[in-house]
Structure 1
Amino acid sequence: MPKPTFINLKADKKQKLEKILLTEFSENSLLDANINHIVKTAGIARGSFYTYFSDLNDAYRYTLSQVLEEVHGHLDGSDPYQATIDFLEAVETNRYYDFLSNYYVINQAILEADHPRIAPLDPVTVAADYSAWLGQVAIHQLMRRYFLNPSEKSAIITILVSLRVWQKEVE
């Protein structure tokens, strides 16, 4: 995550760098993203980048957290199946489409290989609500499936509708 130097930047400078990072990671995978391009566009020294972030992956993880916070922020306790359906219905016009596509198609695997961060399964927590856990896993896998093959969008939405009905039946 970002270093205190980044956290304490003036709001306008921080927002400018966040926008540049979002653009870089929307246009390029982690394999192709370039610190030199980021610092040149931002008009900062390469050393400044390293006072803000440990490395490119660190900057990416920060940007990913910002995107996911905004995307998930619209869910606020609503039906996760319907929220995912609504998201997919309008995903092509979502300002994060390219970023999310790069994430699901390429960057997610790179991040997991670099630093496996899979939370340990807690059988007690999972057992407390199997259907919610299964639904969450299914939703994330279907989102990935969409970005891997957008032509399956209607089939994915059909599956989400079926999962939504199933969830109501098991409650």
Structure 2
Amino acid sequence: MVLPTFHHLSEEKQARVRDALLNEFSQYPLAEAQVARIVKDAGIARGAFYKYFADLPDAYNYVFGVAMYEIHRTMPEMPTVDNVDAYMNSIRQFVVETDKAGYRKLIEQHYRYNEGFLGSEPTKLVDGADAPARWAITVLYHQTVRDIVLDPDSMDQRIEQLRTVLQKR
């Protein structure tokens, strides 16, 4: 969790630190990331880094959370029989937004290296009569996105594969 001191920085300084974090974590897996490169790139003192973040995983989780928020803010709600096309388009939009916002390498590093380094959490249980279907769709959707980020040339085939499953609901 970002420490309160970070939120007291000017927007310009916060942006500089975010950019330095994005640069570092886009180029290096978390296990190889260095505070020294981040502080040099951000133009801050090493001690300041630890006033903003508890450690490197904390800083990584912060910038990854920012990226996920930016990318997901325009995504549609859960797919239904009526919005499968919108949902499939949202996968393409996710990839485009990831590239446009400069997060592609960060997301790729996450899937390739950092996800395993940080540990895994179980998927969330969902309530309601259609809970199993909503859970399955969410898992398949995220796996499809993951596979596309790791193998961009397979996007069309993976989207069609997911579309076929969702239309059989």
TM range (shorter): 0.7 to 0.9
Alignment of 1:34-73 (within 5 A): 34-73=34-73
Kept after mapping to 2: 8 A contact 1:21/1:63 = yes
Residues 130-167 of structure 1, C-alpha deviations (whole Å, 9 max, x = no match): 2221111001111222233333222212112213423x
Instruction: Please report how far the alpha carbon of residue 126 of structure 1 lies from its aligned counterpart in structure 2 after TM superposition.
Output: 6.3
Q: Is the 8 A contact 2:148 2:158 kept in 1?
A: yes
Which of 114, 118, 122 is 1:118 aligned to?
A: 122
**Secondary structure of 1:152 counterpart:** helix
Give the direction of change, closer, same or farther, for the CA distance of 1:151–1:119 in structure 2 (3 Å limit).
closer
Structure 1 segments of 4+ aligned residues over 4 angstroms from their partners: none
> For residue 10 of structure 2, what is the amino acid of its counterpart?
K
**1:163 match: secondary structure:** helix
Contact 2:19 2:42 in 1 (8 A): no
The TM-score normalised by the length of structure 2 is: 0.83
Q: 2:103 aligns with which of 85, 96, 101?
A: 96
- Contact 1:126/1:133 (CA < 8 Å) preserved in 2? no
Is 1:83 paired with 2:90?
A: yes
Asked if 1:24 is matched to 2:24, the reply is yes
Q: Percent identity?
A: 31
SS in 1 for 2:60: helix
Mapped to 1, the partners of 2:152 and 2:87 lie a distance apart of 20
Matches within 5 A, 1:136-155: 136-155=138-157
Amino acid in the other structure paired with 1:162: T
- Unmatched runs of 5 consecutive residues or more in structure 2: 78-82
Alpha-carbon distance in 2 for matches of 1:152, 1:127: 34
Distance 2:142 2:128 in 1: 16
Unpaired runs of 5+ residues, structure 1, are none
More deviation in 91-100 or 35-44?
91-100
Equivalent position of 2:134 in the other structure: 132
| Cα distance change, pair 107–121 in 1 and its aligned pair in 2 (3 A) | same
Size of the aligned set, in residue pairs, is: 161
| Residue 20 of structure 1: how far off its partner (Å) | 1.1
Native 8 Å contact 1:75 1:83 kept in 2: yes
Q: Structure 1, residues 18-52: CA drift from partner, whole Å, max 9, x if none?
A: 11111111111112211000111122111110110
CA RMSD of aligned residues (A): 2.2
Task: Classify the secondary structure of the residue corresponding to 1:62.
Answer: helix
State how far apart, in whole Å, the 1-side matches of 2:11 and 2:97 are.
29
Residues 120 and 143 of structure 1: is their aligned pair in 2 closer, same or farther, counting only changes over 3 Å? Answer: closer
